[in-house]
Amino acid sequence: MLFWIIAAALVAVIALLFALALLRGRGEDEMAPAASYDVQVYRDQLRDLERDVERGVTSREEADRAKLEISRRMLEADRKAQAGSDLGRAPKGPTIALVIGGVVIFGAAFWLYTRMGAEGYQDQPIAQRFADADKLYDSRPSQADAEKMQKARATPPANPDPKFLELMKKLREAVAKKPDDPKGLELLARNEAALGNFDAAWKAQQRLVATKGDAATAQDYAELGEMMAVAAGGLITPEAEKVFATALKMDQNNGLALYYVGLMMAQNGRGDRAFRLWDNLLRNSESSDPWVPLVQQNIEELAWLAGEKDYTPPRPRGAPGPSQADVAAAADMSPEARQQMIRSMVERLNDRLAQEGGSADDWARLISSLRMIGEVDRADAVYGEAKGKFGSRPDDMAKIDAAHQAPAGQALQDMGGAQAGQSAPQAAPALPGPSAQQMKDAASMTPEERQQMIQGMVDGLFDRLTTEGGTPQEWARVISSLATLGQTDRAKEAWGEAQKALADKPDALAQVEAAAKSAGVAQ
């Protein structure tokens, strides 16, 4: 309260001083300008002139001429004096406006402080902030207390399906009869969580971990910690922290445990530590990992808290290639500038895979990109390396094979990167596509004309495939092209037609499916 008294008193004093200055204008001494003094002098001169005439010092004619001149000067001085007295008064309009403006500013400042200010909040050095964070960390509620608080504020769950409740009843009875059955405990934990019974879910998961003993994995512990955190309303309690610590002791790269440890740091005033954990996590996560969207939503704010200026979040592995901004920028580039941009992105992807590795989608994208820019030999070398990594995984190899078998010349044209005089590589089998003359003509087109030409070729290929059929490479190409053009619905339609046309050819359909998955139109 003392703060408000002092603040109000200071504002009142300042406002009063302003008001007095406006109302009084200039002081009394200043209100008598030099012109007023001159008028008095001229009057004295007129009286002295009359005395001189009476004494015979000055003739009447000379006195009349002098009176005329003195009178003229006196009138001018009087006019200036009158004008000066008007200037000494404060104008009413600006005065009222200034008073109203002061009231508005004071009121706005008061309103803003009540919204955003913190009365009595002192400056906090970094050491004090860390000390406060430690206190917050040490004063966390236990798992049981946190769950009680969560139950008190939780809304009643929606009525579940009666059939599901009946199945859950049977599952609970089965687990009660076989309390050490890992499969039953696993099903019980997951389905209790699905019902919203997170307390029962983490206890079932805890029994599962105990039953497995030394066979329990880091992921088992991480899932147990997650269920405990959800049951506690998102708070990472000391008990849950110990579980996540066990998971990270078994696997220091466990993404789920790293996410929740970072969340715990953020909850307890250590955004700097949370940022370092999540930044590293994002760099080593797949784009499909469930924590990636949550990290991406908060990482920039944590970067600001950690003092990182101009921070750009890294892309997780398997993330889509160029952003919408990249595509929009490329549309206005010359063919040479566009080709250079594409090449730089390919080199960055190549470097990352060489240093950190990546998913099959990443390898497939690198192979198709290298073929797109005409470096077929490098694409073949990368393909050989990818076979060594994913040869034992049929689904992953299907994606890589589809990328390797895509026609290089067509891929180049699909990206609008044809250059005058550049012939299409001949490593891939020839497929219907643009002629050499069409590719040469594309170099002189505007971005809109080139886009229209590409759209026409894709439409033509789509129509031919739906009426006459075609090879799996052609189906894969039309799906990828439509997705690249942003026509997702048509790409899904093409995938559906391909499934019908190649239903009796599993190997061919697998190639098309890999392209459809890469395009995001197949599960």
Computed over every residue of the chain, the mean pLDDT equals 76
The count of domains in the chain is 3
Tell me, what's the pLDDT at 378? 86
What is the CB neighbour count within 10 angstroms for residue 416?
21
Do 249 and 338 have their domain in common?
no
Do 168 and 109 have their domain in common?
no
Do 99 and 145 have their domain in common?
no
- Please state which of the ranges 402-406, 425-429, 434-438 shows the lowest mean pLDDT: 425-429
Q: How far apart are CA 1 and CA 174, in angstroms?
A: 65
Output 154 or 215, whichever has higher pLDDT.
215
User: What CA dihedral angle connects 264, 265, 268 and 270, to 10 degrees?
Assistant: -170
Q: pLDDT, tens digit, for every residue of 17-39?
A: 776 766 665 444 444 456 566 77
Look up residue 16 and give its two tokens. 């009063």
Domain CATH for 253: 1.25.40.10
Q: What crossing angle do the helices spanning 218-231 and 143-153 adopt, rounded to 10°?
A: 50
Q: pLDDT, tens digit, for every residue of 40-85?
A: 787 888 888 888 888 887 788 887 888 888 888 877 777 776 765 5
Q: How far apart are CA 367 and CA 391, in angstroms?
A: 16
The burial class, CB within 10 Å (0-12 / 13-18 / 19+), for 504 is exposed
Q: How far is CA 87 from CA 25, 31, 37, 81, 141, in A?
A: 9, 9, 17, 10, 72
Residue 136 falls inside a structural domain? no
Residue 466 falls inside a structural domain? yes
Residue 308 falls inside a structural domain? no
Do 99 and 165 have their domain in common?
no
Tell me, what's the pLDDT at 114? 66
Q: How far apart are CA 422 and CA 372, in angstroms?
A: 13
Q: Report how far Cα 50 is from the mean position of its chain's Cα atoms.
A: 93
The burial class, CB within 10 Å (0-12 / 13-18 / 19+), for 270 is buried
Do 231 and 192 have their domain in common?
yes
- Which residue, of 268, 289, 311, is where some domain finishes? 268
Do 448 and 345 have their domain in common?
yes
Residue 79 falls inside a structural domain? yes
Q: How far apart are CA 187 and CA 171, in angstroms?
A: 8
Q: Which domain holds residue 203?
A: 141-150+161-268
Do 252 and 387 have their domain in common?
no
Do 165 and 107 have their domain in common?
no
Res. 366: pLDDT tops 70: yes
Res. 336: pLDDT tops 70: no
The burial class, CB within 10 Å (0-12 / 13-18 / 19+), for 106 is middle
Res. 412: pLDDT tops 70: no
Do 67 and 146 have their domain in common?
no
% of the chain beyond a pLDDT of 90: 18
Residue 284 falls inside a structural domain? no
DSSP 345: H
Residue 295 falls inside a structural domain? no
Q: How far apart are CA 191 and CA 167, in angstroms?
A: 10
Tell me, what's the pLDDT at 417? 36
Residue 300 falls inside a structural domain? no
- Please state which of the ranges 7-11, 27-31, 111-115, 392-396 shows the lowest mean pLDDT: 27-31
Res. 128: pLDDT tops 90: no
Q: How far apart are CA 384 and CA 373, in angstroms?
A: 19
Tell me, what's the pLDDT at 100? 76
Do 89 and 229 have their domain in common?
no
Do 93 and 146 have their domain in common?
no
Residue 175 falls inside a structural domain? yes
Res. 202: pLDDT tops 70: yes
Place of tokens 């008001």: 19
Q: How far apart are CA 227 and CA 199, in angstroms?
A: 8
Q: pLDDT, tens digit, for every residue of 461-519?
A: 888 888 888 888 888 888 877 877 778 888 888 888 888 888 888 878 887 887 788 77
0.75 surpassed by pTM:
no
Do 394 and 500 have their domain in common?
yes
Tell me, what's the pLDDT at 211? 94
Tell me, what's the pLDDT at 431? 36
Tell me, what's the pLDDT at 455? 73
Q: How far apart are CA 328 and CA 396, in angstroms?
A: 31
